[in-house]
Amino acid sequence: MLRAYFLIALLLSALAIAVLFGTVHAQPSVPEFTLKYVDYSYDVPPKTSSTTDPYTNETITTTIPGRHVENKTVEATINNNIGASYYNFRYKGRYTDKWSYYPFDPNDSLGYMLPDSFYVPYEASNSSYTVAALPSYFFKDIRVGGEVDVQAQALFGDFRAEPFGHLLPLEPTYDFYFEGTTSDWSETQTITIGESQTPTPSPAATPTPTPYEETQQTDQSEIIIGAAIAVAVITVGLGLLIYLIKRK
């Protein structure tokens, strides 16, 4: 009979440990972010150069016309999750269910592997937030007033870089292999494509993100609650075991 009591207490203790372990190793928190439509378009001024004809001593003037470079895109300001090292995005039109991914498509055969690249984009900054601009060509064909849904994903880990073999003597690139875990996709943020002023490159123009300490406090609260449940289960189990032994 004593052995049965001991097994009951052991099972209760194992259950408590499982609860605590599951709480500590829960799915990583999803990133929180805001979106802004930005216009980084700029004008390249005309360039004039002069040369002297060595045979006639005539001055030859050449003018390269100026041009306008369109660079309008969507910029995400992300609250850095604890331990997040990189971010991944997916986007779609507001009225479709088909997502496009950048830079990693989890449904693709490559997954979180980036081939023949110079670096891995969207590395988390060391500050409390990371600003990430999505490539402008994603949005160049969207009419003004069009709506875009965006979700973000946090990557926890690092990339192993292996040299990519080029046949020609080019600048070296690498195959990057992700080693770590990922969060679920975030809540959807929707932005309307439209005209805007080029943002001033100063801290005052940067949207103030929600402090990421809130995410830290939430995770700590979950761990504390899990630990309290585990301690309670163990205490009840030991109390029951002592009671049964004394009763016998």
pLDDT tens string, the chain, 248 residues long: the values are 545 544 555 455 555 454 444 444 456 789 999 999 998 889 999 999 999 999 999 999 999 999 998 888 999 999 987 778 999 999 999 999 999 999 999 999 999 999 999 999 999 999 989 999 999 989 988 999 999 999 999 999 999 999 987 767 678 899 999 999 999 999 999 999 985 544 433 333 333 343 333 444 444 455 555 555 555 555 655 555 565 566 55
Residues 9, 10, 16, 20, Cα dihedral to 10°: 150
- Amino acid in the structure at residue 178: F
Instruction: Verify that 56 and 128 share a domain, yes or no.
Output: yes
Residues 71 and 187 in one domain: yes
Structural domains counted in the chain: 2
Judgement on whether residues 169 and 246 belong to the same structural domain of the protein? no
Same domain membership, residue 215 and residue 138:
no
Distances (CA, A) of 166 to 83, 119, 121, 178: 34, 16, 22, 22
Q: Based on the fold, state whether residues 200 and 138 are members of the same structural domain.
A: yes
Measured between alpha carbons, how far is 77 from 206 in angstroms, rounded to an integer?
Answer: 8
175 and 239 co-located in one domain: no
Residue 193, pLDDT score: 92
Q: Supply φ then ψ for residue 135, to 5 degrees.
A: -55, 135
> Does 12 lie in the same domain as 133?
no
Report the DSSP beta bridge partners of residue 179. Answer: 158
- Distances in whole angstroms, Cα of residue 33 to Cα of each of 153, 192, 206: 10, 16, 13
Same domain, 110 and 155: yes
**42 and 15 fall within a common domain:** no
Claim to verify: residue 235 and residue 120 sit in the same structural domain: no
Domain of residue 16 covers: 1-30+211-248
104 lies in the same domain as 172: yes
What predicted TM-score, i.e. pTM, was given to this entire model? Answer: 0.65
Query: Tokens for 232?
Result: 């309670």
Report d(CA 158, CA 176) in Å as an integer: 9
Strand partners, 67: 44
Find tokens 């075991």 and name the residue: 241
Statement to judge: residues 181 and 77 lie in one domain: yes
Half-sphere exposure of 153 (CA within 13 A, CB side): 19
Tokens coding 100 = 């496009």
Q: Which residues contact 195 (CB under 8 A, 6 or more apart)?
A: 39, 144
Q: Are 198 and 75 in contact (CB under 8 A)?
A: no
